[in-house]
Amino acid sequence: MPPTEAQIQSAYGIAQERYAALGVDTEAAIQQLAGIFLSLHCWQGDDVGGFENPSGELTGGIAATGNFPGKARNPEELRRDLDLVYRLLPGQHRLNLHAIYLEAPGKVERNQIEPAHFSAWVDWAKANHHGLDFNPTLFSHPLAADGFTLSHHDPAIRQYWIEHCIACRKIGDHFGRALGTKSVTNIWIPDGYKDTPADRMAPRRWLLESLDQILAEKLPHTLDAVEPKLFGLGSESYVTGSMEFYTAYAVTRKILLTLDSGHFHPTETIADKISSLLLFLDELLLHVSRGVRWDSDHVVTFNDDLQAIAQEIVRAGALERVHIGLDYFDASINRIASWTIGARSTLRALLSALLEPTGRLRTLELEGDYSTRLALQEELKFMPFHAVWDAWCERQGVPTGMDVLAEIKAYEQRELTGRG
């Protein structure tokens, strides 16, 4: 059974006192958390199908596993599903769109998309006070079938994708202007070789030239980002847009670098990269995911990696410099549960980090008292941060405990089962 309002208030009072003893103001932590806007990924709701060609093959090394009933079949169903997810999250959050989620009466080539194809999304975002972020879609298309797009050896194919990305930047700029909050426009490409290439330099030179053309026009209402990856399905031996390539590009072009927590070696966490990169970049974009043995895009859970990411952002004082997006998709369970569980886990991790006595830990470190530092870090793991979480949810009118799943299950019976 979920806690009653009286139980929530009582538990919060105790937690407030315990944190105060450590020099932590729980109200200040809640206020800071309320100012964090997660960018939810639209593609969780329909397994990255989009509305350009919903029955088309998913390519680019991307795979959605499972066939749980209730996949969104059209924009109206997807927005309805998202409305429920946002109601189950404390705070006000954003939506991250891919270009294939356009709405048009007929086929539109990707290099000809324009803001009008996303007007329904803008109207919905305005009505619900959501910011919008955007992504070109450089996969699931005949001109990406051989695994190359912006770094393709054929200039005509490169030009097609250059035009697509230019169009997407203008759409992102339109979102930012229309909604009064800058849109992050992130470029990820699947380009790479399955086996050892004979020439590593040429594709990267072509990618460099393509990106420079794409970013030539300065747009005031969008933030540009580029997303590296260690390897992918079909690009195990070589990825054109590697971490080294995109780090150098982002630093020299003064744009954002995207860190996807599933895009690195399974033993590698992106948490340690944040402070290093923020010394050279003004802002970062994170795609929070959970890879199991590879970039499997499992639902985000409250694990050590997620907590480390949140702690690093807070300890670095970088909440206003790090944009946090979610990027996973699981079709083996209720898709709304996938969205909600992952988003709530991410917000919980951020709250837990905000409730640390960061100044005290730093002082112990500078004094060389590592024993006390370690002891305090371990004690913090067992502090009643979840009582603070429940109190914030209660203030926001958001359900706590398993009441969240009860609402999802009720919606499943009412709405999702009829979709097949």
295 is catalytic: yes
188 is catalytic: yes
For the stretch 191-210, pLDDT in tens is: 999 999 999 999 999 999 99
Q: CA 64, 69, 71: angle at the middle one, nearest 5?
A: 60
Cα separation of 94 and 242, whole Å? 28
pLDDT under 70: residue ranges of the chain:
54-64
Question: Among the options 93, 263, 273, 323, which is catalytic?
Answer: 263
Residue 3 is classified by DSSP as P
DSSP-derived secondary structure for 265-315: -TT--THHHHHHHHTT-S-EEEEE-B-SSSS--BPP-S-HHHHHHHHHHHH
Cβ of 307: how many Cβ atoms within 10 Å?
A: 18
User: Which conformational region is residue 23 in: left (phi greater than 0), alpha (psi within -120 to 50 degrees), or beta?
Assistant: left
Question: Among the options 52, 81, 173, 297, which is catalytic?
Answer: 297
403 is catalytic: no
Question: Among the options 229, 273, 298, 323, which is catalytic?
Answer: 229
Question: Among the options 46, 52, 224, 227, which is catalytic?
Answer: 227
- pLDDT at residue 62 in the model: 61
Q: Where are the domains of the chain?
A: 37-357
User: Which conformational region is residue 260 in: left (phi greater than 0), alpha (psi within -120 to 50 degrees), or beta?
Assistant: beta
Cα separation of 106 and 83, whole Å? 27
260 is catalytic: yes
Question: CA torsion 83→85→86→88, rounded to 10°?
Answer: 130
Question: Helix 201-214 vs helix 243-253: angle between axes, to the nearest 10 degrees?
Answer: 30
- Strands annotated E in 145-211: 183-187, 192-193
For the stretch 285-343, pLDDT in tens is: 999 999 888 777 889 999 999 999 999 999 999 999 999 999 998 889 999 999 999 99
Question: Helix 358-366 vs helix 370-380: angle between axes, to the nearest 10 degrees?
Answer: 160
- pLDDT at residue 54 in the model: 64
For residue 301, report the phi and psi dihedrals to the nearest 5 degrees.
-125, 165
Question: Among the options 121, 124, 161, 188, which is catalytic?
Answer: 188
Annotate 387-411 with b (16+ C-beta within 10 A) or e (fewer): bbbbbbbbeeebbbeeebbebbeeb
Cα separation of 368 and 188, whole Å? 43
145 contact partners, CB below 8 Å, separation of at least 6:
59
- pLDDT at residue 60 in the model: 53
| Closest of 102, 45, 95, 37 to residue 68, by C-alpha | 45
6 contact partners, CB below 8 Å, separation of at least 6:
none
- pLDDT at residue 61 in the model: 55
Pairing of strands 222-226, 284-288: unpaired
Pairing of strands 192-193, 238-239: antiparallel
Which fold would CATH assign to domain 37-357? Answer: TIM Barrel (3.20.20)
- pLDDT at residue 377 in the model: 97
| Closest of 158, 281, 169 to residue 217, by C-alpha | 169
287 is catalytic: yes
Question: Among the options 93, 287, 298, 323, which is catalytic?
Answer: 287
- pLDDT at residue 81 in the model: 97
Question: Among the options 260, 305, 330, 356, which is catalytic?
Answer: 260
Residue 286, strand partner residues: 259, 324
Q: How many CA atoms lie within 13 A of 76 on its CB side?
A: 2
263 is catalytic: yes
Question: Among the options 47, 133, 283, 295, which is catalytic?
Answer: 295
Q: Which amino acid is at 260?
A: D
- pLDDT at residue 2 in the model: 77
177 contact partners, CB below 8 Å, separation of at least 6:
221
> What tokens were used for 264?
């690195």
Question: Among the options 133, 327, 390, 394, which is catalytic?
Answer: 327
390 is catalytic: no
The answer to whether the CB of 280 falls within 8 A of the CB of 244 is no
- pLDDT at residue 325 in the model: 98
378 is catalytic: no
pTM (two decimals)? 0.96
